[in-house]
Structure 1
Amino acid sequence: MDSPALTHNVFATLSRSRAALERSGSLGDGMAVAQWNNHNDATTYRGPGHHTLSLYLAGGYQTWRRDRPGIYGAPGKLCLLPDEHESEWVIEGDLRFVHLYFKPEHFAQATVALLDREPRSRQLRDLTYADDPVLAAYCAQIVQLNWQDTASHLAANELAHGVLARLILEHSGPRAYLPKGGLSAGARRQVIDYIDGHLDGNITLGDLARLAALSEFHFARAFRDSFGMPPHAWLSACRLQRSRTLLRDSNLPLVDIAAACGFANASHFSNRFRAAVGANPSQYRAVLRK
C-alpha cells in the first residue's frame, strides 16, 4: 500500500479512529487520495492545515455533523473541509467514502491561474452534503482507477486537477478579511508576469525583489504572505505546470521542453517531473494521447 496520504492531518485523525482504510495513494503533485469505511464512530477535525474533499460512496444515511443536527448524508453527497475547518461528526450505521487531500499551495496556484486573484483573498467554502454532479463524477472516476498503475495514476492526476479547478471556480469565495502584509496587487501581477515570461532562464530572488522595489529579505516574506509558499517553490511549480502543458499540447522533443521550462537538461527535467507527478515525461505524454 502506498502511504503518502499519511502526511495529511485528516488522514492521521481517521487512522486513530475506528475507520478502516481500504487503500490510499499519491495522485502526484503533492495531492493524495484515501478510501475508507466506518461504522458507529465519532470523529473531530480541528484546523487540519490542508483541504479535504469527501464523497460518500455507500451508506451515510445516519451520519451527521454535531453543529448541523437533522441533516444526514447519502451516497453521492460531498463534503468540503477547508484547511482552517473545525467540525465534529457522528457516524451511526455504515459509511464508505473517499477523501481527496489538497495542500494550501494547490489552492494558491489554481487561484492565480484560474481567477488571477491573490490566493489569500479567497477561501474554499465549508460544505456539508453538497450536490455537485460534475465534482462527484470526477471523484467517482478516481475511485474506479488503480492508483498504483502508472497509466491509471496519471489519469487520476488529471482528474484531481479537474477537481481542484471545479472547487476554485464553483466552491470558493472572497475571504471575509484580508490578512496584513503581502505584495501589492500591482507588484504581484508584475512578479507573476515576469516569472511566466522567463521560465526558460535563470530567475533570481534579486530579479523578483527589484520588480517589487523591496529588499530580497522583505520580498521573500511578502511573497510567502501572498502566495503561501516561498518564491523558489512557486517557480518550480510554474516550470512543472508549463512542462505538463507542452507535453500535452505540443510535439516538442523532451530536450526542447526541458530548455523551455528552465531545466538544466532532459535528465534533470525527467527526474523532477517523476518526483512531482509519479511518472516520467514520456509516460505522461503517452497516457494523455491514448
Structure 2
Amino acid sequence: MAPSRAITSAAARPMPEPAPVTITTRCSSMPCMCVSCRCTARRAGLGGAAHCSRPARRGQRRPITLAISAKSPAVIGKRRAYNGLHNKSGTHTEETMTGVFSSTPQLIARATASAPDYVMEGHNGDIFGARWNHPAGESQLRRNAEHVLVYHLSGNTDVERLQQGVVTGFRSRVGSVTFMPRDSESDWRLGGNTQVIHLYLSQALMDAFARDTLERESCPDIDDFFAVHDSWLDGFFRMLASEAPPSAGHGTRLETLVLDQIQSLLVRHLVTRYARERRADTERALVRGGHGSQLRQSVLKKITALIHERLHEDICLQDLADLACISKDHFLRAFRDTVGQTPYHYVLSQRLERARVLLREDQGLPVAEIARRCGFKNLSHFSATFRRMTGVSPKGYRG
C-alpha cells in the first residue's frame, strides 16, 4: 500500500501550540522526578518538568514527558524559526510512513521535535544552513533530501550514531565534523544538550561543480564520515560564523557572492579529500584548478569596473567568472592569486571604502542611505560590519 500523504498550505501551517513531547534520558537517581530529569527539561529549552509513572534504576534509559510552557522564551523564540522553515515553499508535504519532507531542515525538525535557533538563507530565500540546539534524547533521520555537513559547535560530547542497529560513531568532539549523504538513514543518541551548525548541499550543486571543474556530468560520491577533525573545515565554519552572524537571533540572508564563494570552496574540499572514487582525470582536474593562474590585467580591469559599477547591487560569482571566460572555481582561485583577496572580501573592502568617503564628505546623508548605496542589506548589517572592520561605528567615524 502506498504511504498516506497529507498536503497542506505552508502559509496555513503555523508552529503547533506547545504540547508534551517524549524524549529519552538517563536517570541518575530515584524516583523519576530527579534532578537529572529536571535538568534535562531545562536543557531542552522547554521550561517544563519531567515526569513518568514509575521509578527506574540508576543509569537506566527510559522516556520521560516534558510539559512545555507556551510562554517559555525558547518556545516563543523558536516559533518564528519554525514558521519560516515551513514557509519556504508553496506547499508542505509529509509522507507519514517514510518521513519524507520537502526539505532536509523540515525532516530534521520533525525527527527532533524542535526548530532551529536560526537559519542561513541564500538571496533567493533557499535555506543553506541552520544552527540547532538539540536536547538529550534519541532521533531517527530517514532519507534526507540533501547532503548534510554537521559541525559540532558546543555542548555534550556523548553523541552516538547508529546505522542498521550498529554503533558507527561515538563521542563527537567540539570542533569535529560529520557528513551525512542524501538518502542516508541513521539513528542518533545525544547524552546532553548539543549545539551544531548544519550546511545543506544539494546534489545539483555538487554536479554543477563536477561539470564546471572536473569536466564530468556527475560529482563523485562523498564517503560519509563521523566526528572527524579537519582543520580546514574547522576554520571554514569559524569563518562562516563571522561572515554570516544571525540578525537579532532570527537568522541571516547571505549575499549571493558570499554564498557562491562558500559553496565553491566547500564542495572542492569535500571532493578533494573525501571522494569515494579517485579517478585519474578527476585528480588532474583538481590539481590543475588548485594551482590557479593570475588574471590578465585587461580582464582584471573589466572585472573591477563591473564591481564598482554594481557595488550597490547583489553581485554573483558567475557574472564575474563569465567576464574572465572561466569556471567559477577557477575564477575564485585566479582572482585571489592576482589581487590577494577573495572576490567577496575585495567587494567588501570597496564597499567600506565608499562608505568612509560618504561619511566624511556628505555629513547630511543619513547612515541608512549610505548603507543602501554601498550595497549592505540593512543598517544593522552595515553598522556591525563597519564596526568589525574599522573598530568604530559609522556615527563614531563621522564624528
Matched, 1:108 2:207: yes
Q: 1:163 to 1:246 in 2, by over 3 A?
A: farther
Q: Which has the higher contact order (CA 8 A, sep 6+)?
A: 1
TM-superposed deviation, 1:103: 0.8
| 1:234-284 per-position Cα deviation (integer Å, ceiling 9, x unaligned) | xxxxxxxxxxx9899442466xx97x969xxxxxxxxxxxxxxxxxxxx99
Aligned mates of 1:248, 1:13 — CA distance in 2: 45
Unaligned runs of 5+ in 2: 1-80, 93-100, 279-298, 311-317, 324-343, 352-399
Matched, 1:23 2:118: yes
TM-superposed deviation, 1:43: 2.0
TM-superposed deviation, 1:150: 6.8
- Of the candidates 264, 269, 273, which is equivalent to residue 170 of structure 1? 273
Matched letter for residue 48 of structure 1: N
For normalisation by structure 1, the TM-score amounts to 0.56
| Alignment match, 1:74 | 173
Q: Determine what percentage of the aligned residue pairs are the same residue.
A: 17
Q: Is the 8 A contact 1:247 1:285 kept in 2?
A: no
TM-superposed deviation, 1:147: 5.4
Matched letter for residue 54 of structure 1: V
TM-superposed deviation, 1:111: 1.8
Alignment of 1:78-89 (within 5 A): 78-89=177-188
More displaced stretch, 16-25 vs 50-59: 16-25
| 1:186-233 per-position Cα deviation (integer Å, ceiling 9, x unaligned) | xxxxxxxxxxxxxxxxxxxxxxxxxxxxxxxxxxxxxxxxxxxxxxxx
Matched, 1:62 2:123: no
Q: 1:171 to 1:73 in 2, by over 3 A?
A: same
Alignment of 1:53-202 (within 5 A): 53-66=149-162, 67-68=166-167, 71-119=170-218, 122-144=220-242, 145-146=244-245, 154-155=257-258, 157-174=260-277
Q: Is the 8 A contact 1:142 1:156 kept in 2?
A: no
Helix, strand or coil for the counterpart of 1:80?
Answer: strand
Q: 1:247 to 1:18 in 2, by over 3 A?
A: farther
Q: 1:78 to 1:21 in 2, by over 3 A?
A: same
TM-superposed deviation, 1:86: 1.6
Aligned mates of 1:284, 1:113 — CA distance in 2: 23
Helix, strand or coil for the counterpart of 2:121?
Answer: strand
Q: Is the 8 A contact 2:121 2:253 kept in 1?
A: no
Q: Which structure dedicates a bigger proportion of its chain to helix? A: 1
TM-superposed deviation, 1:140: 2.1
Aligned mates of 1:54, 1:137 — CA distance in 2: 14
Helix, strand or coil for the counterpart of 1:173?
Answer: coil
TM-superposed deviation, 1:115: 2.3
| Alignment match, 1:251 | 305
Aligned mates of 2:145, 2:253 — CA distance in 1: 29
Q: 1:140 to 1:160 in 2, by over 3 A?
A: farther
Q: Is the 8 A contact 1:37 1:95 kept in 2?
A: yes
| Alignment match, 1:13 | 107
Matched letter for residue 141 of structure 1: M
Q: Is the 8 A contact 2:152 2:196 kept in 1?
A: yes
| Alignment match, 2:129 | 33
For normalisation by structure 2, the TM-score amounts to 0.42
Helix, strand or coil for the counterpart of 1:251?
Answer: helix
**RMSD (Å) for aligned C-alpha atoms:** 3.9
Q: Is the 8 A contact 2:115 2:132 kept in 1?
A: yes
Matched letter for residue 174 of structure 1: E
Aligned mates of 1:106, 1:84 — CA distance in 2: 16
Matched letter for residue 173 of structure 1: R
Q: 1:142 to 1:82 in 2, by over 3 A?
A: same
The count of corresponding residues between Structure 1 and Structure 2 is: 199
Matched letter for residue 135 of structure 1: L
